[in-house]
Structure 1
């Protein structure tokens, strides 16, 4: 379940920061907001994001994601996922164990970050909901609703800063009734990161148990 939550985050973050071409049909106001937001972010080649993850009824958790093209590394809830585009390694700190498996971009369905463009291009419509204030910020709220019956996601509500079109937060409503809020705490665009950063190195984790699932 933790891996599912992690992939849900990656889906959301890649969508809102990079997925301008993936928008489906919607009203003019929501379309203008999403296009402006997308134009701001779509030239970003890599990024590092710190975020707060808040499941409904649960305690807030902190996380961090670094993304470069199809490669990503994600830290959250005692786990760390390394993906170099070919091999995915999931490290569990509590047990000092890492699971290795071939990265299959088709396995995650709508929750796979490498399929975000096609997933949203085919299955969502959107609408402007409202403006709201958060401190000195004015936020524009847009809701994306799934039209794909097989999707695990029912809808996503995105809050966009009206002044600079940056992402403030997004909330994922899953069809099983679960709700998850992600809030951006810090965002660094175009970070310099070596490809080796996305590959798990057992030498850096003394005594780690390697479980090869390939």
Structure 2
């Protein structure tokens, strides 16, 4: 997977875990663990009250014996989101997607891909109750620190083998999200903080004046 695909994927999945609970999806609920559903419902009730969700994280990327650690922030409100990962930025402002590649000092402008073609967008993830054929999930462990819940995709061709999340004992905080990919790579999102942050005028804007010499490429149709 590319850097931006990694960032967008794991960021979207983290948002899914924080907000997912199938209210209408009979297939989803029947195949999933009712106790896990209760935990996810509780998380959604807590984070659903936020004006905007700001998550500081540490990202561990493992490829065989190689390991890389990155840090960043995700800010999400409704269908809009901003991801800043080690200076690489993705912004969905509701009309287009901006991707800033720090190494090239390049800004790419893209159309928003329809949800059905991009299954892990925040917009679709926040309505996972309408997409109840994506995953099944069960509690796979419990100790003094909390719970482990594993998500498995129903699509056998998915690049994701499984997702493992850890929730604290009080069922009020998510601690980490780990993704196991079919290429053997592992990505672990360690949540450092989750805050209720209101949107500002610059939340979903990219200030090109802060990047002298930036190259902009419009890739929209």
TM-score, with structure 1 as normaliser: 0.87
> How do 1:111-150 and structure 2 match up within 5 A?
111-116=120-125, 117-118=127-128, 121-133=132-144, 138-150=145-157
SS in structure 2 opposite 1:20?
Answer: coil
Asked if residue 73 in structure 1 is aligned to residue 99 in structure 2, the reply is no
Sort the Cα spacing of 1:196 and 1:64 in 2 relative to 1 into closer, same or farther, 3 A: same
- Distance, in Å, in 1 between the alignment partners of 2:161 and 2:142 is 22
Shift of 1:82: 1.7
> How do 1:44-59 and structure 2 match up within 5 A?
44-56=50-62, 57-59=66-68
- Distance, in Å, in 2 between the alignment partners of 1:168 and 1:84 is 28
Number of aligned residues: 209
Deviating 4+ runs (over 6 angstroms): none
Does the CA-based 8 Å contact 1:71-1:84 persist in structure 2?
Answer: yes
What's the C-alpha RMSD, in Å, of the aligned pairs? 2.1
Does the CA-based 8 Å contact 1:20-1:34 persist in structure 2?
Answer: yes
Shift of 1:120: 5.3
SS in structure 1 opposite 2:115?
Answer: coil
- Distance, in Å, in 2 between the alignment partners of 1:180 and 1:209 is 30
Sort the Cα spacing of 1:157 and 1:127 in 2 relative to 1 into closer, same or farther, 3 A: same
Q: For structure 2, which runs of at least 5 residues remain unmatched after alignment?
A: none
- Distance, in Å, in 2 between the alignment partners of 1:194 and 1:88 is 18
- Distance, in Å, in 1 between the alignment partners of 2:180 and 2:60 is 12
- Distance, in Å, in 1 between the alignment partners of 2:40 and 2:116 is 28
Aligned to 1:4: 5
TM-score, with structure 2 as normaliser: 0.85
Deviates more, 1:83-92 or 1:25-34: 25-34
Shift of 1:41: 1.9
SS in structure 2 opposite 1:207?
Answer: coil
> How do 1:143-162 and structure 2 match up within 5 A?
143-162=150-169
Shift of 1:50: 0.5
